[in-house]
Amino acid sequence: MIIDISHHQNPQNMNYDRLSEQVDFVIIRTQYGSSLIDRYYKIHHEEFRKRGVPTASYAWVRGRSIADMEKEATDFYNRTVDLAPTFWFLDVEEKSMNDMRSGVSAYVNKLKELGAHKVGIYIAHHLYKEFNLKLEEADAIWIPHYGINNGLPNSRPNYPCDIHQYTSVGKLAGYNGNLDLNRILSDKPLSYFTKDTKETDKNQPSTWASEAWIWAKNKGLMDGTRPKDPATREEIAVILKRFSEKLKS
């Protein structure tokens, strides 16, 4: 079971012990645009993780220009990076600028440039065609489609997606209010969304460093392993010596 929550789910009303027995993954809102920061996002991350439930993050997108989108992405990253979410989702549910395709693309790319390893897009079903987002840039697609919205999965989105949000009135023991419930529809396993990105991507350089990493490897300055490990002073000495020898040759 996958749920997504925000400060509308007050921690005082949640029995995290009971909820954690029923959920496999929780996606937690960090912000609504840049100006509204979710009041309880850090508490939600902490409480579910204490109980062994992996957590991801999402942010409602409201940028009015490319610069706005990049600012929102930066705020989202800075407010969330210390929590090390397994996934970063953009929640795209309103037309905040004329060219949402370019705006959302700028948001995604800024997040990746900053160091977010896996970035997904939640796109409102009724806006899917109109916005025509560059979904190929995302690592996962998440779409809401409720059918008769009775708490059970009784519909499927008209568009391909990895995660289907199938109700906004779900009920689980441990919380008396409504919950958004989700299921995986694609062939991606749950572990794709929940596994620690540091472990998943430990053998891959970050997006912002990939070009330099490949260059250094091809030049023989680096051996091409352990891209995210810290370098010792002796390793730096070897790199400098190799670089010096390359300059002479």
Residue 37: CATH number of its domain: 3.20.20.80
- Amino acid 149: pLDDT: 94
Please give the full DSSP string across 135-160, using - where no structure is assigned: GGGSSEEEEE--TT-SSS-----SS-
Q: Where does the pLDDT of residue 208 fall: very low under 50, low under 70, confident under 90, or very high at 90 and above?
A: low
194 and 212 in a single domain? The answer is no
Q: Which residue has the higher pLDDT, 197 or 39?
A: 39
219 and 196 in a single domain? The answer is no
> What would the mean pLDDT of 15-25 be, rounded to a whole number?
94
Are 146 and 124 in contact by the 8 Å Cβ rule? The answer is: no
Lookup: tokens for 114? 């900053």
Lookup: tokens for 52? 């062994």
- Amino acid 200: pLDDT: 44
- Amino acid 113: pLDDT: 92
Query: What would the pLDDT profile of 171-206 be if each residue is shown by its tens digit?
Result: 999 999 999 999 999 999 999 999 854 444 555 665
Provide the domain limits for residue 224.
207-248
Counted domains in the chain: 2
Q: Where does the pLDDT of residue 49 fall: very low under 50, low under 70, confident under 90, or very high at 90 and above?
A: very high
Which of 36-50, 130-144, 152-166, 210-224 has the least mean pLDDT? Answer: 210-224
15 and 114 in a single domain? The answer is yes
53 and 160 in a single domain? The answer is yes
Query: What would the pLDDT profile of 91-147 be if each residue is shown by its tens digit?
Result: 999 999 999 999 999 999 999 999 998 999 999 999 999 999 999 999 999 999 999
45 and 155 in a single domain? The answer is yes
147 and 36 in a single domain? The answer is yes
Exposure pattern of 194-228 as b/e (b: 16+ CB <10 Å)? bbebeeeeeeebbbeeeeebeebeeeebbeeeebe
